[in-house]
Structure formats: structure tokens, C-alpha cells
Structure 1
Amino acid sequence: MLAQAVTTQNAVDPVALRRALGTFVTGVTVITTHDAEGMPRGMTANSFTSVSLDPPLLLVCVGRGAHSFAAFNASSSFAVNLLHEGQTDVSNLFASKAANKFDTISYDRVHTGSPILTDCLSWFDCTVHRRVDAGDHVVLIGEVQAFGTSPSAPLGFCRGRYANVKDPLPPGWLASHGMIVGYLIEADGHLLLRSDGKGGWVLPSAMRRIADNELKLEGGDALTLVPDDTFLYSVFDVADGDPGYLIYRARLAQDPGSAALSAGLKFFPLDQLPYDHIPTREISAMLRRYARESASKRFGIYMDSNDGGRLAMVGEAQPWASSPQS
């Protein structure tokens, strides 16, 4: 049986049409840019679509009546921040006309300068590829310059309200709790490694993420890190079937000489890392890349894939920033 038809003799009923369009389940995004004065601007949108992989294109639609429309219509770049299931408050904030949306939101500037929310499901930093006038909206087609993602569950939207998405990770995806979480902990040009008890060196690992700027390593050591300098650096599997790896880059908040470390932990100069004593080939290759990128202060995020992986460059590491204006 066909769904109930809604038509009129003269025109489409916009209220009924909105309700019908709203039955399509979407994610929720916060799109961001900066205005002519360089101030961050942002709004909630669910009109987001992947367009092309080669070149990497996506699109969002911005209503002409939106408070931030002028900024998006004039800027040469924008970012799309996909929200996770715990961010309904962020969605509501950016759906409002508040003048201080960024006061309580942490964000960074990665490639184009458009604000990237530091806590979101995925983000895409784009230059404007093309603008298309479409009725009461403008379609912004963006070319992706950098991106990042996480295994969190997405925030859904359907029939005018938020929706939960069941089982967001399909078969073949690795959930974060099934992976080894390792840390590249740097201090004064040195990197912390842990003895594997067999003459080799591995990365220190942790069972969970940082709480109150403190990282509790497996083995009992607790280190205080600089929170603004902690970010996802690499995600990959290893060939011998071990669990996959989530690798975070972090910086010690104290002088390495004053840190009380267990006997199995040692700081190595970045130009003297013991590559020949790293038992896992993938870890050794990742450490070589990290040493090179540390020297240039230009880091990337590596995501493993069947065809060799992807490296999204994110530019020089910068502290997360908060700005007083929307």
C-alpha cells in the first residue's frame, strides 16, 4: 500500500512537505566558518551529503534566512562537524541565534582556518569548490582538505526530533574497546617508551582515555599531560593478527627528569629512537614518521585501509582554542 498522498490543486503545502522530508533519517552536523573579521561562525544543519571521492567533495545547504548566512556565502572555506550521540546540547546551541556560541565550545583551526570542534564524531575541513543557488538555500560544495573521525555513535534526527542509532559499527569495523590504546608521550624532544621485558621497546599503553589531565598507564604509572596537545595520531592493524592500535600524541606537563617512572619506562631523544629494537614493524614505521613530523612540527592522522592507508595532514599542532564571539 502506498503511503498517504498529500497534494493540493495550487501548490505544495510547505508544512506537509517539511514533515514528509523529515521522515528521512539523517545525521546532525554543525557547519562552521569565519566572517570577514575572522570571527568564528556556526550553525546546525542536517542537509549534508557526500558528493565525490575523486576529487573529495561534499555538500551542505545553508538557508538564506540563517543568522550566519552572510558569513558562509562570503567565505572561501568551511568545516562540517558531525555530532555524536552525546551532543544534543551542542546541536541545540548552534541551532539557536545566540551570539556567544563558541564561548563554551572547544575548537581548533586545522587547515583552512574554519573552526573544528574538538569533540565530535567526524570533521571535514573544506575549501569552497562551488556555490549553487537553490531556492531559499545556497548549496556549498566543498573540497575536503583534511578530516578526522572516531568510533563514537552518531547523533540521528528524524521527524523533527533526535533519534538513536543502533549498532553504529558494522561487522569489519573495530570498536575502540577492542584495540590497544598507545601513547606517544613527548617531553623536551624526548619520547617515552616501555621495555617489553625481552630486550625490545614498545609504546606505553593505557586502558582508558585521560581523566582530569592524568593518564594512568598499564603498570600503574600516572602521568600528567598537557590536554591541549593530546590528539589522535594513528589508527591501524598489524599483519600478525594482533588487535588494532589507536595511537594518541601527547606532551608531558612536567619536566621528564622530575617524573617518577617505573624501571621499565625510559625517555629517548627523538633522533635516537631504538628502531632496531621495536618488535612490531608497523610501530617502528609509525615512530619514524612521528620523528620526521616532530622535526617539522607538521603532524598527520594515519588511518589504515586495504589499499595502503590514508594520511590526512593537519598542519602544525596548535592548542585547542575558545573565542568570545559567535
Structure 2
Amino acid sequence: MMTTIIDPRTLRDAFGAFMTGVTVVTTHGADGEPVGFTANSFASVSLDPPLLLVCLAKTSRNFDNFTKATRFAINILAEQQKDISNTFARPSDDRFAGLKWQSGPHGSPVFEDVAAWFDCATHNVIDAGDHVILIGHVEAFENGNANGLGYARGGYFTAALAQKAVSAAASDTPVLVSAVAERDGQVLLVSDGNGKFLLPSCPLVAGEGPDVLQAHLAAISGLSASVGYIYSVYEDRAAGIQHIIYRCALGDGESRTGHFFPLGALPADSIAKPSTIDVLKRYATESVLGNFGVYVGNEHTGKVHPLARKA
């Protein structure tokens, strides 16, 4: 009998390819104080009866509070509430300090301005490996007007910001799609044929998506490649080209072409375009903070639309 050894970190990264919303799960502890944690392992279960679920790690400091609670609430965070997600994802003496919340109709803490909230009675707690599954019976809910906050591959995304970036690139100008392709704190740069380096790039024609960039990265590097979220959209007016740059990840192994350079030791003097230097310097800075943004503009001026620091 053959046994497959699964690396937990690699498996977690693969699970992270699934795009989810972001929630904060809340209840009251035995002392009556509000407690909560950030979770993206949330799903609806049934409409009749109205059930939902969320998963909780057995190692969580919240384990006893939630497995012994008779009720809890799910707060689906809105696009602008990334800071709340981060607050409830980190250890803190009082995560609710300064937060606008109130007790829901059946007692659990619910937040203001969320995309939606659900006040639940605990229906069941099911053992599931290194987690438990909390199943809640929805007793009250409110559907807000805001869009939900998204999360995938270790970072936040918002539908509104992605659409804004894509709309900025919608024109009759030729489009070049490029990758800040990272692996273990290093980025892959390729030769321009004249002794200088560029981001891996390929043309993008109408109707095509980022899968074209993924196929190009895999072909030139011989490595597994995954395309993340838009990092920069700008028009090079002098060259008459619209650029769309994605954050990407590459797998292990030696690349067929180009070279990996540490983010802290980028070869600025050997990079072909000043705009590429600007992109890489910003990426190096934001990587240290874990706080990425999306640049929209042209080769000289524009605006970085910030995304909150990842949890």
C-alpha cells in the first residue's frame, strides 16, 4: 500500500487558491466579555433550516469560548474593513476597542457597516481533524449594501479595485501584460537582448485574460506559475503601450531563462526601464510591510490605491 506524504505548508498554499470572503466570528466569553476571530472558512449550509458553518482551529485561543458558547455571530466584512480583519487575526488584549458594534437580536456582537451579519444559535460542533466545525442556526440577520472583502493566496482583494484597474486599461492601445514573479523573496527578471533586464512579459489581445501570462511564465521558466492580483496598470504614452502588471508566484527549481534577484539587492543599473525600477522598488518596500497596493496612472504620475496589510 502506497502512502502519499503531503506537506502541510504546500497544501495550505493550494487551499489558498480558492477565493473566499472574510468574516469575523464573535460571541461572549464565560466572563461576559466579547471575543472574536477572523475566519475565511465560512459557508452557507442550508436554507431550510437556515444553517451556516465556520471552522475553528483546535489550537486557537478562542477554542474554549466558541465550543462552549450557545450562540455566536458571523460578520461578513465589507471591502473597506481590512483593518478589522487584521485586528481580529492577531493577539490583542481588547480587539473590540474603538470598534462600532452592538449586541444582535439574540445577543452576539454584530458590527456596523458590514456586508452582512448573522446572529446564530449553536446548532452543532463537529470534530474535524485539527479543527472543529461550528454549525450555526441563523436566528436573525441583516444584509448590508456593501460588497464583501475578498481573500486569496495570502492577500486581500476587492472587486471594485480590480474593476477600476481593468477599466483603466480598456482602450485601443496595445496591451503588454507583465509579472512581478516572486519566489522566496526573489524576483525573476529576463534579458532584453541588450544586456539589460525586464519583467517577464507578453502581449495581451482583446478577449484574453491573465491565463496567457501564466502560460508564458511556465513556458519561459519551466516552473509552476500562478498569477495573483493586479499590481500596476499604467500607460507608457511615449511608447504607446498600456501595461498591466500582476503579482505572480513561481515554484521551485532552476529557471530556463532569466535570473532570480533578491528584493533587497535589485540590479537597478541593469534594468532597462525606469518605470520597471519604480515598480520593483515599490514591490520590495511593500513586501517588507506586507502591505500591497495597486498603481493606476502613466509612466510618470499616478496613484497607488492601498490594500490593507495581510493577516
Normalised by the length of structure 1, the TM-score is 0.48
Amino acid at match of 1:152: A
1:126 aligned counterpart, secondary structure: strand
Cα shift readout 1:74-132 (whole Å, capped 9, x = no counterpart): 10000000001101100000001101101111111122211001221100000011110
Instruction: Give the distance between the partners of 1:65 and 1:51, measured in 2 at CA.
Output: 25
Query: Which residue in the other structure is 1:259 paired with?
Result: none
Instruction: Give the distance between the partners of 2:11 and 2:88, measured in 1 at CA.
Output: 24
Amino acid at match of 1:20: A
CA RMSD of aligned residues (A): 1.7
Which residue of 40, 64, 71 corresponds with 1:70? Answer: 64
Query: Which residue in the other structure is 2:152 paired with?
Result: 158
Instruction: Give the distance between the partners of 1:167 and 1:54, measured in 2 at CA.
Output: 35
Query: Which residue in the other structure is 2:14 paired with?
Result: 20
Establish whether residue 122 from structure 1 lines up as the match of residue 116 from structure 2.
yes
Amino acid at match of 2:140: A
Amino acid at match of 2:32: G
Cα shift readout 1:187-225 (whole Å, capped 9, x = no counterpart): xxxxxxxxxxxxxxxxxxxxxxxxxxxxxxxxxxxxxxx
Query: Which residue in the other structure is 2:191 paired with?
Result: none
1:162 aligned counterpart, secondary structure: strand
Unaligned runs of 5+ in 2: 163-311
Instruction: State whether residues 27 and 108 of structure 2, in contact with CA within 8 Å, keep that contact through their aligned partners in structure 1.
Output: yes
Instruction: State whether residues 113 and 146 of structure 2, in contact with CA within 8 Å, keep that contact through their aligned partners in structure 1.
Output: no
1:119 aligned counterpart, secondary structure: coil
Which residue of 59, 70, 73 corresponds with 1:79? Answer: 73
Q: CA deviation at 1:42?
A: 0.3
Q: Runs (4+) of structure 1 moved beyond 2 Å?
A: none
Instruction: Spell out the pairing of 1:165-244 with structure 2 (5 A cutoff).
Output: 165-166=159-160
Instruction: Spell out the pairing of 1:229-308 with structure 2 (5 A cutoff).
Output: none
Which residue of 52, 55, 59 corresponds with 2:49? Answer: 55
Establish whether residue 100 from structure 1 lines up as the match of residue 94 from structure 2.
yes
Which residue of 112, 115, 137 corresponds with 1:143? Answer: 137
1:60 aligned counterpart, secondary structure: strand
Instruction: State whether residues 120 and 138 of structure 2, in contact with CA within 8 Å, keep that contact through their aligned partners in structure 1.
Output: yes
Amino acid at match of 1:31: V
Amino acid at match of 1:164: T
Change (3 A) 1:32 1:158: same
1:19 aligned counterpart, secondary structure: helix
Higher helix share: 2
Instruction: State whether residues 113 and 144 of structure 2, in contact with CA within 8 Å, keep that contact through their aligned partners in structure 1.
Output: no
Normalised by the length of structure 2, the TM-score is 0.50
Higher strand share: 2
Instruction: State whether residues 116 and 142 of structure 2, in contact with CA within 8 Å, keep that contact through their aligned partners in structure 1.
Output: yes
Instruction: Give the distance between the partners of 1:119 and 1:166, measured in 2 at CA.
Output: 17
1:72 aligned counterpart, secondary structure: helix
Instruction: Give the distance between the partners of 2:142 and 2:17, measured in 1 at CA.
Output: 29
Instruction: Give the distance between the partners of 1:103 and 1:155, measured in 2 at CA.
Output: 21
Instruction: Give the distance between the partners of 2:24 and 2:54, measured in 1 at CA.
Output: 10
